[in-house]
Amino acid sequence: MDRVLIESLEVETVIGVYDWERTIRQRLTLDLELATDIRPAATDDDLARTLDYAAISQRIAHFADEHAFALVETFAERLAQLLLAEFPTPWLRLTLRKPGAVPAAAAVGVRIERGTLPEAP
């Protein structure tokens, strides 16, 4: 199974457990892998036959803009559910980072896998 990649996508959202965090927007960085078979699209050079990473990126940005969560875990889980429901992929791996959350670390975050990764034919 092939994978479409979106790496280091930056979005801004309301995220955090502290009261002051609920009043500001903070940057999150996402890495995303989505399972798909790219051969149909490659055969015809047809965007409609693959995962459109521009559309997926726009949907993620819209999701971040319209939601506010306390935990990055909640953001990641809800986003994964949405992507699996709205885009034709059976599996995804999402890495979500919150830069600057811990002063001594470049970022903190979570990595989740959801769905079933099909075996290669």
| Amino acid at site 104 | A
What is the rounded distance in angstroms from the CA atom of residue 105 to the CA atom of residue 15? 18
Catalytic one among 92, 93, 98, 109?
Answer: 98
Active site residue 69: no
Catalytic residues: 98
